[in-house]
């Protein structure tokens, strides 16, 4: 078997309406935050959602090739954090990426458990990126470049 890690990173997307309802329900009523059938973590929002802010879901991933086939494995979803949409949110997005990136070690462990011939060095050397979905990008204020 041959395997090669082609990329690692964190996907950032807008929370769905159901996810927002679950977050708001937890905040208002103390209702349990539950997303059946999904691996997730919930962190209580650091402060009240401001008008125009958007809840964001962060999820780490690893992309690799195994015997010529491309695969992508996803880590746990992180819920409960919001970012401003009326100003540059680069620092908030990077903080979410840092938090979700901690799951990359679990994805590496999963690959080793699956007996994929991937070394830690190869995993760490793979290109890493932050992926912002088009839907989230459209809601954000322009970010600083450079």
Residue 20 lies in a domain: yes
Q: What is the domain range of residue 10? A: 3-138
pLDDT attached to residue 113: 95
Residue 69 lies in a domain: yes
13 domain residue, yes or no? yes
pLDDT tops 80 at residue 141:
yes
| Strand 54-66 versus strand 3-14 pairing type | antiparallel
What pLDDT score was predicted for residue 142?
82
CB neighbour burial string for 63-101, b if at least 16 within 10 angstroms, e if fewer? bbebeeeeeeeebbbbbbbbbebeeebeebbeebbebbb
Residue 146 lies in a domain: no
Domain presence at residue 76: yes
CA dist., res. 141 & res. 130, Å (int): 17
How many domains would you assign to the chain?
1
Say if residue 128's pLDDT is above 90.
yes
pLDDT tens digits, one per residue of 49-93:
566 788 899 999 999 999 989 999 999 998 878 899 988 999 999
Q: Is residue 144 part of a domain?
A: no
Confidence of residue 94 (pLDDT cuts 50, 70, 90): very high
In a domain, 86, yes or no: yes
Quick check: is 112 in a domain? yes
Q: 8-59: per-residue pLDDT in tens?
A: 999 999 988 887 777 777 666 655 556 655 565 555 554 555 667 888 999 9
């Amino acid at each position: 078997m041959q395997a090669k890690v082609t990329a690692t990173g964190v996907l950032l997307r807008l929370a769905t309406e159901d996810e927002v309802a679950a977050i708001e329900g937890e905040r208002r009523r103390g209702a349990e935050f539950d997303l059946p059938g999904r691996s997730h973590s919930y962190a209580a929002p650091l402060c009240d959602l401001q008008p125009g802010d958007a809840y964001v879901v962060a999820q780490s991933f690893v992309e690799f090739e195994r015997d010529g086939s491309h695969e992508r494995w996803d880590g746990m979803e992180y819920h409960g954090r919001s970012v401003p949409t009326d100003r540059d949110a680069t620092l908030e997005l990077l903080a979410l990426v840092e938090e979700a990136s901690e799951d990359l070690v679990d994805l590496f462990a999963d690959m080793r458990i699956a007996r994929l011939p991937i070394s830690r060095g190869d995993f760490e050397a793979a290109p890493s990126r932050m992926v912002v979905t088009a839907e989230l990008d459209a809601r954000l204020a322009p970010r600083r470049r450079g």
